[in-house]
Amino acid sequence: MTANEEKLSFGSFTASVDGKPFLVSNSVTFHDASSNYFLWGTNGNANSVYFCVHSSLESETPEVVKHYTGALEWTVFINDVSYPVVGGSATVTIGKSRRDAHGTIDFKLEGGRVVTGNFDIKR
């Protein structure tokens, strides 16, 4: 992905770990990577959420996507420390034009921590 592709995405991504907010982001990406869509939000500093969903999702229908190993490893960064996602899901709605995605996340991290959040991203 080029820097220009990243700048074409806009929207918001918020997340909490164990109920405590750690990410409020308007630096977001929704990228079509062929058989997967990459979605992420970052505050440009130490906190980010990265995950992917299958690009075959139906449009305009919320779908629960359980954690899977895809083209992008589901990962959460909290204070510059990487935490792999080991379980959980994302509920994702892809827009009719397939140029926007919104939904929620409920991720389980190694060590038992839980990350929840909301995203609304357009490209």
> Residue 5 above 70 pLDDT?
no
Distance CA 28, CA 92 (A): 15
At residue 7 the predicted structure's pLDDT band, cuts being 50, 70 and 90, is low
- CATH classification of the domain holding 65: 2.40.128
At residue 3 the predicted structure's pLDDT band, cuts being 50, 70 and 90, is very low
Consecutive H or E run containing 8: none
Consecutive H or E run containing 6: helix 3-7
Tell me, what's the pLDDT at 8?
76
Condensed to tens digits (0 to 9), the pLDDT of residues 51-99 reads 999 999 998 999 999 999 878 999 999 999 999 999 999 999 999 999 9
Range of the domain at 78: 3-122
DSSP for 21-88 reads: EEEEESEEEEEEETTEEEEEEE-SSS-EEEEEEETTPPBTS-EEEE----SS--EEEETTEEEEEEEE
Domain count, the chain: 1
